[in-house]
Amino acid sequence: MPSKELIGNPSGTGPSSAGPQLVLLLLAFATELAAGSWCSPYALAVTSDGKTLYVACATANRVEVFDTALKKVIRTIDTPAPATGLVLSHDAAKLYVTCAAPVSKVLIIDTASGKSLLSVSAGHTAEAPTLSPDGSRLYVSNKFSGDVSVIDTKAAKELRRLQAVREPMGSALSKDGRLLFVINSVPAGRADAGYVAAGISIFDTAAFSPAGRIQLPNGSAELRAIDVSPDGAYGAVTHLLARYYLPTTQLERGWMETNALSILDVPGKKLLATVLLDEPDLGAANPWAVRFSADGRQLVVSHAGTHEISLIDAAALIKKIKETSRETSDDLSFLAGLRKRIQLQGRGPRALALAGNRAYACGYFSDTLEEIDLKTLRSATIAELPTAPMTVARRGEMLFNDGSICFQGWQSCSSCHSPDARVDALNWDLMNDGLGNPKNVKSLLFAHRTPPAMSHGVRGSAELAVRAGIRYILFTVRPEEDAVALDEFLKSLQPVPSPHLVSGKLSPAAERGKALFMDSKVGCAKCHPPGLYTDLQTYDTGTRAPTDSSPDFDTPTLVEVWRTAPYLHNGSSATLRDVLTIANPHDKHGRTSHLTPTEIDDLVAFLLSL
Question: Looking at residues 431-457, what average pLDDT do you find?
Answer: 94
Model-level pTM?
0.93
* Of the listed ranges 8-22, 424-438, 463-477, the one predicted with least confidence: 8-22
Identify which of 239, 95, 236 has the alpha carbon closest to the alpha carbon of residue 153.
Answer: 95
Helix/strand/coil for 75: strand
* Of the listed ranges 18-32, 145-159, 238-252, 460-474, the one predicted with least confidence: 18-32
> What's the pLDDT band for 27 if we cut at 50, 70, 90?
very low
DSSP E strands, 328-428 = 339-343, 349-355, 358-363, 368-373, 378-384, 427-428
Digit-coded pLDDT (tens) for 317-356: 999 999 998 899 999 999 999 999 999 999 999 999 999 9
Check pLDDT > 70 for residue 20: no
DSSP-assigned states of every residue in 260-326:
EEEEEETTTTEEEEEEE-SBTTB----EEEEEE-TTSSEEEEEETTTTEEEEEEHHHHHHHHHH--S
Q: What is the pLDDT of residue 523?
A: 96
CA distance 559 to 529: 11
How many CB atoms neighbour CB 133 within 10 A? 14
Domains of the chain in sequence order: 394-492 (1.10.760.10), 508-607 (1.10.760.10)
| Higher-confidence position of 432 and 24 | 432
Q: What is the pLDDT of residue 33?
A: 38
Task: Name the DSSP letter for residue 341.
Answer: E
| Higher-confidence position of 303 and 3 | 303
Computed on alpha carbons and rounded to an integer, the radius of gyration of the chain in Å comes to 23
What number of CA atoms fall less than 13 Å from residue 266's CA on the CB side? 26
Cis peptide before 187 (omega within 30 of 0): no
Q: What is the pLDDT of residue 8?
A: 28
Digit-coded pLDDT (tens) for 111-161: 999 999 999 999 999 999 999 999 999 999 999 999 999 999 999 999 999
> What's the pLDDT band for 28 if we cut at 50, 70, 90?
very low
Identify which of 81, 91, 67, 75 has the alpha carbon closest to the alpha carbon of residue 360.
Answer: 67
CA distance 101 to 106: 11
Percent helix, percent strand, percent coil in the chain, to nearest 5:
20, 35, 50
Digit-coded pLDDT (tens) for 586-601: 999 899 999 999 999 9
Tell me the β-bridge partners of 120: 106
Q: Residues with Cβ < 8 Å from 321, sequence gap 6 or more?
A: 263, 272, 273, 275, 328
> What's the pLDDT band for 250 if we cut at 50, 70, 90?
very high
Digit-coded pLDDT (tens) for 87-115: 999 999 999 999 999 999 999 999 999 99
φ, ψ for residue 506, nearest 5 deg: -65, 140
483 contacts 496 by C-beta, under 8 angstroms? no
CA angle, 564 as apex, 561 and 569 as ends, to 5°? 100
> What's the pLDDT band for 217 if we cut at 50, 70, 90?
very high
CA distance 146 to 143: 5
Instruction: Provide the sign of the torsion angle of the four alpha carbons 397, 400, 404, 405, taken in this order.
Output: positive
Helix/strand/coil for 100: coil
**Separate counts of helices (H) and strands (E) for the chain:** 10, 33
φ, ψ for residue 408, nearest 5 deg: 60, 10
Instruction: Provide the sign of the torsion angle of the four alpha carbons 565, 567, 572, 578, taken in this order.
Output: negative
CA distance 238 to 290: 7
